[in-house]
Amino acid sequence: MRHSAIQLMVGLGNPGPKYTGTRHNAGFWFIEALARREGIDLRSERKFHGVAGRWRAADVDTHLLCPMTYMNHSGRSVAALTQFHRIDPAAILVVHDEIDLPTGVVRLKQGGGHGGHNGLRDIASALGTRDFARLRLGVGHPGHSDQVISYVLHAPGREERAGIDRAIDAAVDVASELARGEWDRAQQQLHTRD
């Protein structure tokens, strides 16, 4: 099955040194890893309220974005870039931490609800649709819903972080397939690695 080529990959997280190593910043870690591997220059872009770059992979021009608006206001940054570059929501991939997946598991998903994730909620609200793709990076669950906020705003242990990093590496491995809209190929590689 062919999907839209991805014109924008958004990594979710919170800006500042206080949050750098926290689970909630897994989306930032993906964008940073992709930029390192591909030699992409990420720069602060005030008009997009974030750090952004451009990646040309297999004749597809893909924008990379890490909103610097804090998680709960990610939609402001995403909407600014998509409006400026006239990017359809179907051509957006949002990369985020996912507590409903075990640490180190990575899954692709098309559309759907926000599952309590405030970054996804704000992006859907800003775009007026939930019909964008998601790359879900498993960070595990603390065990009780009352502990979720504290959990995602703390750093994972060394073994957990290694698992998340392996998932990110696997996702970066299929980033060019995702950019081209080769969803099934990317999904097969990701979902058979567990």
Cα 122 to Cα 180: distance, rounded to the nearest angstrom: 26
Q: Is 144 a catalytic residue?
A: no
Categorize the per-residue pLDDT at 131 as very low, low, confident or very high, splitting at 50, 70 and 90.
Answer: very high
Indicate the annotated binding residues for tRNA.
Answer: 19, 70, 72, 118
For 45-74, write each residue's pLDDT tens digit. Answer: 999 999 999 999 767 899 999 999 999 999
Which segments are annotated as binding site? Answer: 19, 70, 72, 118
8-191: CATH, from 3.30.450.40, 2.60.40.3470, 3.40.50.1470, 3.90.25.10: 3.40.50.1470
- pLDDT value at position 125? 97
Name the percent of the chain lying above pLDDT 90: 88
* Average pLDDT, integer, range 184-191: 90
Which pLDDT value is given to residue 1? Answer: 46
pLDDT tens for each residue of 88-107: 999 999 999 999 999 999 99
- The Cα–Cα gap between 108 and 128 comes to 21
Which residues contact residue 105 at a Cβ distance below 8 angstroms, ignoring those fewer than 6 apart? 138, 167, 194
For residue 63, count CB atoms less than 10 angstroms from its CB and return exposed for 0-12, middle for 13-18, buried for 19 or more. Answer: buried
pLDDT number for residue 144: 94
**What is Dmax (Cα atoms) for the chain?**
46
Residue from 24, 6, 5, 4 nearest 14 by CA: 24
* Catalytic residue selected from 24, 63, 96, 117: 24
